[in-house]
Chain A
Amino acid sequence: MLKTARGLCAWMLGFMCLLVASSALAEEAERWKFNMTPGVTPVSQDVYGLHMQMFWWCVGIGVVVFGVMFVSMFLHRKSRGVKPANFHESTWLELLWTAIPFVILILMGIPASKSLIELYDTEKSEVDVLITGYQWRWKYEILGEDVSFFSNLSTPRDQIEGHAEKSANYLLEVDEPLVLPVGKKIRFLVTASDVIHNWWVPAFAVKRDAIPGFINDSWAKIEEPGIYRGQCAELCGKDHGFMPIVVDVRSEADYRAWLDEKKAAAAALAELTEKTFTFDELYAKGEEIYNRSCAACHLADGEGVPGVFPALKGSPVAVGPIDHHIDVVVNGVAGTAMQAFGEQLSEVDIAAVVTYERNAWGNNMGDLAQPLDIYNHKQGK
């Protein structure tokens, strides 16, 4: 009786251990992500299927080839006293192992060609998004909706430099995600303003080079609402690893609401252009904008990187005439990495950042720019 109870206890304990172990195993498997995502679009699921099919073909071929090799390494070794054979030619065999791979290739290639044709069919889209790569942020424009905005990395420097604990979405989080409706055929038009970038969201199997001066297209019909993350997939300079993509897929109604919200925010911003700000307001905002948009190259302390990115501390531009300073920020400097920020930042932001640059790090010019000045500059006044 006692024995049975003890046995039962042991079994239960064993079973519980197994449960714990298996859940721990599942957790580990989750942590050790090792395969391609099947994704949430018909194309991405197709691609995943192709990937797995190719994988199993390779495993099959590997088992045969390596199998023969290992058998021969085990059986046909001198230490077993084997005398070598002397055969070294067989036209029949050569033809056979040319023909069989050929047939296998055709079997692999046909479904791949079909998927490729589907992947290329960008016609009859319901939503068109223009995506522009910048060093090192993405600009999204919902075509026909008058909604356009920039999306920047939002991971704090502290986490990157190891002063704070890294969050789960470390380096895969942005200040303003792209919002898209579920179940609609969405066409992505991809281009760039400076160097080549690449817009990649694994869950959609969309990866397109963003090439300055050219527009590529791709499409996705996203079947499940959710947040999907990706990264730039073409080396684009220093902060290539720091320009993530976040797509927030919502129901049609929520997507509409987001569009309205965006439009309202844009209108409010336009109104601000009329407003006159105090020096302190501009300086504080300028610091924020500077650290987000300028510090990647010119560094937070304005020292720049000698030979690559000029210092702003004491630079002839920042302590020179303010009109020229505004011009450099708005129109960039042709033939260098200095971009035209006129499109990227609002009038308020540019006014703030110019004010900040003229007064930070001991530049102490004491003057400031108002949003209206920037507006007038852009209008050529």
Chain B
Amino acid sequence: MAHGPAKGFTRWLYTTNHKDIGSMYLWFSFAMFFLGGMFALVIRAELFQPGLQIVEPNFFNQMTTMHGLVMVFGAVMPAFVGLANWMVPLMIGAPDMALPRMNNWSFWILPFAFAMLSSTLFMQGGAPNFGWTFYAPLSTTYAPPSVTFFIFAIHIMGASSIMGAINIIATILNMRAPGMTLMKMPLFVWTWLITAFLLIAVMPVLAGVVTMMLMDIHFGTSFFDAAGGGDPVLFQHVFWFFGHPEVYIMILPAFGIVSAIIPTFARKPLFGYASMVYATAAIAILSFVVWAHHMFTVGMPIAGELFFMWATMLISVPTGVKVFNWVATMFKGSMTFETPMLFSIAFVILFTIGGFSGLMLAIAPADFQYHDTYFVVAHFHYVLVPGAIFSITAGVYYWLPKWCGNMYNETMGKIHFWLAFIGLNVTFFPMHFSGLAGMPRRIPDYNLMFADWNMISSVGAFLFGAAQVVFLYNVIATIVSGKKATDEVWDNPEGLEWTVASPAPYHTFAEPPEVK
């Protein structure tokens, strides 16, 4: 009945197997994580002390732009899609994804998109240098010629994301094992279902905005040019209508991962499952009506400012509910602190700190002082690095034994965690201070009063980078020579994925499992 994978490179090129595609997504994102990380280290090396030492301002801007684009679209999003590919069928008792050929296609166009984006670094005029938010007219009239390649790369990434999202929705809605009702689905499946709808809603908006840029640059339109009757602020409205749901796309699946890990290591069921589902849905819906809080200083009418301020503050309610539920799950549990749990606990604490600064940023009058300073940089790195990166890392440690059948080295995992945890805080906590002291973001050089905080941040960044090398080594060592893992791996974990063998056979649930 079941047959194994094909041999050689064509196994990967032609594969329609959700596990193979999941693995490719994960390795791809790992590679992009290192590439984006190197861009970040160039930035931090230049900012180690005041003055221009290593790079020219124009190249510095290329680095901030590429760092953001590669991390958002290359590292975080594909990692979550990879996890979904691996885990969603295993969690709902499906034999594979609903649309396996589209699955293959949605992965294989990604390397081309990023090859195209990275190639701009070697073009005349350099890579995109207008920030990952690419505000017009800096990204249109004043952009380097490579902007056209950037636009095409974004189109491909968007197509890949939309296909991935359609696939995930189709799988979850159609392929659940008998008895797996919606309200029995693991939270990771729920959060991904909601995330997929967000993706389908906003990726076309991103495609639209880059297409408008393309028209402005090459076909004489004036969407974003006031001289032709357009409006540069229109760009920001359209961009952030995509951009704000996008940040939830990068955090909702993280909520799902952590909601799987904390109960396992607290040895206690997840507290408030239903309220977690409702809170996720509430966050997703609210994410569509808060976009202009990124634009408090563009000169909106006061009614707009007040609306977006209150709507943004409102998001902290469902987010708070989630944090309280995780804490209540831990409370009176019987906890152990293996690597996935350490990363998950760090996620809860640090993401909450990022939430606090988010709440401060929501206060529109105060935002006039925070906007576009390092305070904002600190905020979004506190939600994205411990939020997305730590949860993905936790997920990798948690499910790696199921994927490859071998147990990772716990000591090495703990070393990775502590290095990353310390590195992260040393890097990003001082940014709150430099931002409040008045340092704008995206500058290659700064006044001496910001020097001390920047030096600390740079040291932390290199520490954080080193921690990821430990991670890479640990993952490879586990796959190559790890000790054999049991089928359950952990102490009585919940979920269908633990009912199959370790490593998970190439084809699972050819017969649908029984769900009680």
Spell out A's residues near B (CB within 8 Å): 31-37, 43-44, 46-47, 50-51, 54-55, 57-58, 61-62, 65-66, 68-69, 72-73, 76-79, 82-90, 93-94, 97-98, 101-102, 105, 108-109, 112-113, 115-117, 119-120, 135, 159-162, 166, 168-172, 194-196, 198, 200, 202, 205-209, 211-214, 216-217, 230-242, 305-308, 335-337
What is the minimal beta-carbon distance from A193 to any residue of chain B, in angstroms?
11
What is the minimal beta-carbon distance from A66 to any residue of chain B, in angstroms?
6
Residue ID in chain B nearest A102 by CB atoms: B317
Please name 5 pairs of A and B residues whose Cβ atoms are closer than 8 Å in the assembled complex, sorted by A: A87-B271, A171-B50, A196-B232, A207-B368, A207-B369
Chain B, 332-381, CB within 8 A of any chain A CB: 332-337, 345, 348-349, 352-353, 356-357, 359-360, 363-366, 368-369, 371-373
Q: Given A97-B324, A233-B373, A240-B443, do A195 and B270 touch, yes or no (CB 8 Å)?
A: no
**Contact indicator B316/A34 (Cβ below 8 Å):** no
**Contact indicator A77/B445 (Cβ below 8 Å):** no
Q: Given A84-B333, A105-B314, A306-B124, do A198 and B53 touch, yes or no (CB 8 Å)?
A: no
Residue ID in chain A nearest B276 by CB atoms: A94
What is the minimal beta-carbon distance from A258 to any residue of chain B, in angstroms?
26
What is the minimal beta-carbon distance from A16 to any residue of chain B, in angstroms?
27
Residues of B within 8 A of A65 (CB): 323-324, 327, 352
Q: Does B178 contact A (CB under 8 A)?
A: no
Q: Which 6 A-B pairs have the closest CB atoms?
A: A213-B226, A307-B125, A241-B443, A307-B124, A216-B299, A34-B433
Residues of B within 8 A of A83 (CB): 334
Complex alpha-carbon distance, A373 and B328, angstroms: 79
Chain B, 253-286, CB within 8 A of any chain A CB: 266-275
| Total B residues in contact with A, Cβ cutoff 8 Å | 99
Q: Given A65-B327, A88-B272, A89-B271, do A207 and B297 touch, yes or no (CB 8 Å)?
A: yes
**Contact indicator B226/A82 (Cβ below 8 Å):** no
Residues of A within 8 A of B112 (CB): none
Majority DSSP secondary structure for residues of A touching B: mixed
Residue ID in chain B nearest A337 by CB atoms: B142
Contact of B449 among A31, A90, A236 (CB under 8 A): A31
Residues of B within 8 A of A105 (CB): 313-314, 316-317
Residues of B within 8 A of A44 (CB): 369
**Contact indicator B352/A62 (Cβ below 8 Å):** yes
**Contact indicator B226/A214 (Cβ below 8 Å):** yes
**Contact indicator A54/B348 (Cβ below 8 Å):** no
What is the minimal beta-carbon distance from B133 to any residue of chain A, in angstroms?
8
Q: Does B231 contact A (CB under 8 A)?
A: yes
**Contact indicator B369/A47 (Cβ below 8 Å):** yes
Residues of A within 8 A of B274 (CB): 89
Residues of B within 8 A of A212 (CB): 137, 226-227, 232
What is the minimal beta-carbon distance from B436 to any residue of chain A, in angstroms?
5
**Contact indicator A235/B309 (Cβ below 8 Å):** no
Complex alpha-carbon distance, A62 and B137, angstroms: 41
Complex alpha-carbon distance, A159 and B448, angstroms: 12
Known: A69-B345, A76-B332, A213-B231. 6 other contacts (CB 8 A): A50-B366, A108-B359, A109-B309, A205-B369, A211-B299, A308-B144
Contact of A162 among B53, B138, B356 (CB under 8 A): B53
What is the minimal beta-carbon distance from A136 to any residue of chain B, in angstroms?
10
Residues of B within 8 A of A166 (CB): 50-51, 448
What is the minimal beta-carbon distance from B225 to any residue of chain A, in angstroms?
8
Chain B, 443-459, CB within 8 A of any chain A CB: 443-450, 452-453
Complex alpha-carbon distance, A194 and B225, angstroms: 10
Q: Does B499 contact A (CB under 8 A)?
A: no
**Contact indicator B272/A76 (Cβ below 8 Å):** no
Contact of B305 among A108, A116, A159 (CB under 8 A): A116
Q: Given A170-B447, A212-B226, do A47 and B272 touch, yes or no (CB 8 Å)?
A: no
**Contact indicator B51/A160 (Cβ below 8 Å):** yes
Q: Given A76-B334, A89-B272, A307-B124, do A47 and B359 touch, yes or no (CB 8 Å)?
A: no
Pick the most buried of A65, A116, A198: most chain B CB atoms within 10 A of its CB: A116
**Contact indicator A73/B53 (Cβ below 8 Å):** no
Q: Does B135 contact A (CB under 8 A)?
A: yes
Residues of B within 8 A of A117 (CB): 302
What is the minimal beta-carbon distance from B215 to any residue of chain A, in angstroms?
14
Residue ID in chain A nearest B275 by CB atoms: A94
Contact of A161 among B51, B124, B137, B442 (CB under 8 A): B51
Complex alpha-carbon distance, A47 and B360, angstroms: 11
**Contact indicator A88/B368 (Cβ below 8 Å):** no
**Contact indicator A194/B142 (Cβ below 8 Å):** yes
**Contact indicator B371/A233 (Cβ below 8 Å):** yes
**Contact indicator A109/B297 (Cβ below 8 Å):** no
Q: Does B503 contact A (CB under 8 A)?
A: no
**Contact indicator B320/A233 (Cβ below 8 Å):** no
Residue ID in chain A nearest B57 by CB atoms: A238
Contact of A241 among B57, B227, B368, B433 (CB under 8 A): B57
Residues of A within 8 A of B269 (CB): 86, 88
Q: Given A88-B273, A209-B298, A209-B299, do A200 and B440 touch, yes or no (CB 8 Å)?
A: yes
Residues of A within 8 A of B227 (CB): 212-213
Q: Does B321 contact A (CB under 8 A)?
A: yes
Q: Given A116-B306, A168-B448, do A202 and B369 touch, yes or no (CB 8 Å)?
A: yes
Residues of A within 8 A of B442 (CB): 235, 240-241
Complex alpha-carbon distance, A224 and B349, angstroms: 42
**Contact indicator B327/A34 (Cβ below 8 Å):** no
Residues of B within 8 A of A195 (CB): 135, 137-138, 141-142
Complex alpha-carbon distance, A37 and B324, angstroms: 34
Residues of B within 8 A of A87 (CB): 271, 332
Complex alpha-carbon distance, A169 and B448, angstroms: 8
What is the minimal beta-carbon distance from A371 to any residue of chain B, in angstroms?
29
Complex alpha-carbon distance, A332 and B157, angstroms: 37
Complex alpha-carbon distance, A281 and B174, angstroms: 82
Complex alpha-carbon distance, A230 and B439, angstroms: 9
Complex alpha-carbon distance, A373 and B427, angstroms: 56
What is the minimal beta-carbon distance from B374 to any residue of chain A, in angstroms?
11
Q: Given A102-B317, A112-B309, do A241 and B445 touch, yes or no (CB 8 Å)?
A: yes
**Contact indicator B446/A171 (Cβ below 8 Å):** yes
Residues of A within 8 A of B119 (CB): none
**Contact indicator B368/A47 (Cβ below 8 Å):** yes
Residue ID in chain A nearest B124 by CB atoms: A307
Q: Given A50-B363, A51-B360, A94-B275, do A78 and B334 touch, yes or no (CB 8 Å)?
A: yes
**Contact indicator A116/B440 (Cβ below 8 Å):** no
Residue ID in chain B nearest A297 by CB atoms: B58
